[in-house]
């Protein structure tokens, strides 16, 4: 087991782990919280990194497990009958749903003005739930091309949305 430079690992992988979690959760604050938990767990894990794959793969595995734990926790909480839940919780859920719809609409507005192939690759990946290999085949390109194009599209969307927030 090799020793890791956690500060360097954090600097190198933070955005990728955050983006991974944001893609899964579609919730910025949850993605930020789980990213912090991922790095904390990586630093405090007794088993640690065994060097069997890339450090990013290891971090994403931790992140995926934390996200699954969070989903299970939320599912247990939602098992309360809505009439049994406090009014503040019900109002919070309605507010979250409205924010999610607003965010989805804003993403669609940005997508509408994006150039090809970024627009189509993003839509095939997110809405069509196709693999990068399948997207590459559709365009007659490689899986790597599809990955790079998707990530560039995601960055463009994020930049445009951040620019519209101010």
CA distances from 111 to 108, 119, 122, 153 (A): 5, 6, 9, 9
Residue 93's pLDDT is 56
Q: Is the per-residue pLDDT at 3 higher than 80?
A: no
pLDDT at 81 over 50: no
* 11-35 residue pLDDT tens: 888 889 888 888 888 888 898 999 8
- What's the pLDDT tens digit per position in 102-147? 777 777 788 888 888 888 888 888 777 788 888 888 889 998 999 8
CATH 1.10.1740.10 in the chain is located at 1-79
Q: What percent of the chain has pLDDT over 90?
A: 6
> 1-79 in CATH: which number?
1.10.1740.10
- The CATH number given to 86-166 is 1.10.10.10
Mean pLDDT for 81-102 is 54
Q: DSSP characters for 96-161?
A: HHHHHHHHHHHHHHHHHTPPTTHHHHHHHHHTS---HHHHHHHHTS-HHHHHHHHHHHHHHHHHHH
Residue 136 or 1, more confident: 136
Cα–Cα distance measured from residue 128 to residue 7, given in angstroms and rounded to the nearest whole number: 37
Q: Where in the chain is the domain with CATH 1.10.10.10?
A: 86-166
Rounded-to-integer distance, Cα 48 and Cα 38, Å: 12
What are the residues whose beta carbons fall under 8 Å from the beta carbon of 1, sequence distance 6 or more?
A: 48, 49, 50, 51
37 has a pLDDT exceeding 60: yes
């Amino acid at each position: 087991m090799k020793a890791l430079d956690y500060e360097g690992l954090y600097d190198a992988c933070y955005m990728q782990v955050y983006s991974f979690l944001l893609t899964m959760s579609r919730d910025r604050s949850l993605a930020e919280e789980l990213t912090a938990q991922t790095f904390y767990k990586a630093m405090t894990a007794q088993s640690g990194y065994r060097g069997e794959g890339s450090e990013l793969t290891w971090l994403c595995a931790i992140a995926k497990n934390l996200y699954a734990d969070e989903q299970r926790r939320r599912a247990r909480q939602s098992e309360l009958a809505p009439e049994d839940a406090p009014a503040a919780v019900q109002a919070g859920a309605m507010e979250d749903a409205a924010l999610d719809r607003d965010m989805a609409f804003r993403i669609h507005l940005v997508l509408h003005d994006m150039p090809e192939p970024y627009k189509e690759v993003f839509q095939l990946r997110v809405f069509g739930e196709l693999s990068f290999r399948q997207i590459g085949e559709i365009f007659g390109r490689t899986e790597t091309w599809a990955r790079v194009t998707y990530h560039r599209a995601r960055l463009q969307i994020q930049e445009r949305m951040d620019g519209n927030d101010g």
